[in-house]
Structure 1
Amino acid sequence: MSQSAEAGPPRSPVTADDLDQAVQLAIGILREAPSQAWDGKAGSLEWDCWETVEHLSDDLFSYAAQLGPRTPPLDGVVPFAWASRRPGGPPNAIHADRTVGPAGLLQVLEASGALLVAMVRTTPSQVRAHHVFGASDPEGFAAMGIVETLVHTHDLAEGLGLAWTPPTDLCSRVLARLFSNTPEGTDPWLTLLWATGRAELPGHPRLTTWRWYGAPRS
Structure 2
Amino acid sequence: MSVAHQSTEDNEACGAMLATMIDAVPPDRRSFHAYGLSDPSGFAAMGVVEVLVHMHDVAAGLDLTWSPPADLCTGALRRLFPSVPSTGEPWSTLLWATGRADLPDLPGRTSWRWDGTPRP
Q: Same fold (TM over 0.5)?
A: yes
1:100 is displaced (CA, Å) by 5.4
Q: Secondary structure at the match of 1:140?
A: helix
TM-score normalised by structure 1 residue count: 0.52
Larger-Rg structure: 1
Q: Secondary structure at the match of 1:157?
A: helix
Kept in 1, the 8 Å contact 2:80–2:114? The answer is yes
Distance in 1 between residues matched to 2:117 and 2:5, nearest whole Å: 36
Query: Is residue 205 from structure 1 mapped to residue 107 from structure 2 by the alignment?
Result: yes
C-alpha distance after superposition, 1:27-59 (max 9, x if no partner): xxxxxxxxxxxxxxxxxxxxxxxxxxxxxxxxx
1:105 partnered with 2:35: no
Determine the structure 2 residue equivalent to 1:171: 73
Gaps of 5+ in 1: 1-98
Alignment of 1:128-143 (within 5 A): 128-143=30-45
Alignment RMSD = 1.5
Equivalent-residue separation in structure 1 for 2:20 and 2:54 (angstroms): 21
Structure 1 distance, partners of 2:86, 2:40, is 26
Distance 1:106 1:181 in 2: 34
Larger fraction in helix: 2
Query: How far apart, CA to CA, are the structure 1 residues paired with 2:70 and 2:10?
Result: 27
Aligned-partner SS, 1:118:
helix
- How far does residue 207 in structure 1 lie from its aligned partner after superposition? 0.8
Which ranges in structure 2 are unaligned for 5 or more consecutive residues?
A: none
**Which of 47, 63, 74 lines up with 1:161 in the alignment?**
63
Task: Establish whether residue 185 from structure 1 lines up as the match of residue 90 from structure 2.
Answer: no
The Cα offsets for residues 83-125 of structure 1, whole Å up to 9 and x where unpaired, read as xxxxxxxxxxxxxxxx952211222222112111100011100
The TM-score normalised by the length of structure 2 is: 0.92
Alignment correspondent of 1:149: 51
Query: Aligned-pair distance for 1:180?
Result: 0.3
Hey, which bits of structure 1, 4+ residues long, moved more than 4 A? none
What letter corresponds to residue 107 of structure 1 in structure 2?
Answer: E
Counterparts of 1:144 and 1:113, CA distance in 2: 12
Letter in 2 for 1:194: W
Which residues in structure 2 correspond to 1:13-28 (within 5 Å)?
none
1:36-185 correspondence runs (5 A)? 101-185=3-87
**1:166 CA drift (Å):** 1.2
